[in-house]
Structures are given as C-alpha cells and as structure tokens.
Amino acid sequence: MNALITIENVNKSYGQHAVLKDINLTVQPGQILGLVGPNGAGKTTCLQALLGLSEYTGKIEVMQHDPSKKRHLMLNDVAYIADVAVLPKWLKVSQAIEYMADVHPNFNREQALTFLGKTNIGLDKRVKALSKGMVTQLHLALILAVDAKVLILDEPTLGLDILTRRQFYNHLLEDFYDESKCIIVTTHQIEEIENILTDVAFIQNGEIVLNESVDNIRNRFKILAVANQQMDQAKSLKPLFSNSMMGITTMLFDNADEESLTALGNVTSPSLADVFVGIMSREELA
C-alpha cells in the first residue's frame, strides 16, 4: 500500500535556530495521526512544509507529489485548516459556499449545508456578524465538505466550546473519514482526540521523540501506583516519570516487565496525555 504522506530526513532552520531536526514520518490510508508537542515544538512548521508553504531540506511526498514543486497538483487531494482561520469579513455564508463550489472540484455543497444546518449560523449572515467560534465552525464546514484524500488540521477546534468540539470530531469521523483517507491533526487537547487517533507522533524541540500506533502505546507504557515501602524497588525499574500527590506516587514505565510492576502495586494503562507528560518531562528525572 502506498503511503499518502512520506517525510524523510526533513530539516528546517530559522537562522541559527533549528526548528525541525531530521523528521521522518509516514502516513498510510486509514491512519489518523496526532502530531502533539508543547508550544513552539515545530508542529505548525512541519505542517507548513507538508503543504508546500515553507522551505525545508529533505524529502516530502504528499500523494506522490513534492509539495515544494507540485503544490497545485497536490492541493487537488489535500484539504487543510490552519490554526488561524481567516475569512473575509464582508463575505456572506452563502457566498463562501458558492465560492468553494466554484474553485474546488471536490467540494460537496450538500455536505457543507448539512453541517451548517447543525449550527446557529444562518446562510445570509456575514462573517463580521459571526462570533470567533462560529467563524471556525464555518471554516470547518467548508473544508470538511471537500472530498480530499489527505486532511491536515492545525488546532482545528481552537476557540470552540466543548459541545462544538465534540460535534466537530463526530462529524469528522462520520462524514469525512474513511479507510482510504488519512488525517494529521495537531491539538493541545490530546485527551479529546485520544479515542479517534490511530497513531501519535510526539514532537519536542523539533525532534520526533515518539512515533507509534495508539495500540502499541497502550501495550508499551504502564502506570504503577506504588506504596511508600516499595518505592526504592519501583525506582530501580527506571520509571520515565514519577508524580506524588496526596500520599500516592504514580510512575510511568516504558516497556517494563508487567509481572515485576504488578508485584509492586496497582498497574493501569496510561492515557495519551499521561504518556505525553511523562515523555516531555523525562529529562528532569535524569
């Protein structure tokens, strides 16, 4: 099966500042990859390189096209939402839909109208009369109605309330996604997308520090709640991260022997947010 996205040895610097360091990622049809990292880690820069919007060294292919040279061809099959949704203030919602129908061969007007029908956004409203969250919803309705093989979402739910965020991810799975497509999504609210992701790449200071399927992560990482008297033994198993709160210490382990852990306390599977915090904080323990 051909990957829809291939990123090989991609580097990018702003002056002396290396912001992408030897990035390697592939995304296959059916994958929903969460690109997760702290502020300034390089997520947007990476997505911009993918979209041919920023220069880089190394190799990127999106649907077999080099985005830095064949951007126009690539964009037939790619839809994306930037973290700053900009739509002209004077535009009416109905005009935005007609515009998309005119410029994008794969735009499905009915789908956009159905999505908007679930919101409070009237077709005769101008963008300037919409709230920030409503502008984001309009933007999402327009982009998700494009039948694209590759969908790139940079903080798509920024500024949306929790009900609308849930509605967006449901819409994404029910009306957009199928096994022939792939999605890359960045968000700081990892707990909200944990259940829809198939894969995760954690990025820290421009480097991919973990790239795994969500299933593998669930097998690989464990949380141990450890009693005080077992603490030294637990520490000798080299946890990635340890946290004490109200007399209970929890430790995150990577690839530790489950039997040894079970002998020391209660073992559970961590959430992606737990693994993220553990991996991002591991240098502090070293």
Ligand X SMILES: Nc1ncnc2c1ncn2[C@@H]1O[C@H](COP(=O)(O)OP(=O)(O)OP(=O)(O)O)[C@@H](O)[C@H]1O
Is residue 190 at the binding interface for ligand X, with CB under 6 A as the rule? no
- Distance between CA 177 and CA 198 in Å, rounded? 12
221: Cβ contacts below 8 Å, ≥ 6 apart = 252, 253, 254, 269, 270, 274, 275, 278
- Determine the length of the chain: 286
Nearer Cβ to ligand X (17/72): 17
Judged by CB, which is closer to ligand X: 22, or 98? 22
Q: How many chain residues interact with ligand X (CB under 6 A)?
A: 10
* Of 116, 117, 111, residue with least CA distance to 136: 116
CB of 207 to ligand X, least distance (A): 12
DSSP state of 145: T
The DSSP line for 177-244 is: --TT-EEEEE-S-HHHHTTT-SEEEEEETTEEEEEEEHHHHHHHEEEEEE-GGGHHHHHHT--SEEEE
Planar angle of CA 275, 279, 280, nearest 5 degrees: 115
Q: Smallest distance, Å, CB 13 to ligand X?
A: 9
* Residue 185 Cβ vs ligand X, minimum distance, rounded to whole Å: 13
Report, in Å, the least distance between residue 257 CB and ligand X: 35
Q: How far is the CB of 20 from ligand X (least distance, A)?
A: 8
- CA 278 to chain CA centroid, nearest Å: 18
The answer to whether residue 85 forms part of the interface with ligand X (CB under 6 A) is no
Cα–Cα distance between 54 and 12 in angstroms, integer?
9
Q: Which is nearer to ligand X, 43 or 104 (CB)?
A: 43
Nearer to ligand X, 18 or 73 (CB): 18
The smaller minimum CB distance to ligand X, of residues 40 and 88, is found at 40
Q: Residues 18 to 77: which contact ligand X by CB under 6 A?
A: 19, 37, 39-45
Name which of 35 and 116 has its Cβ closer to ligand X.
35
Task: Report the interface residues with ligand X, using CB under 6 A.
Answer: 14, 19, 37, 39-45
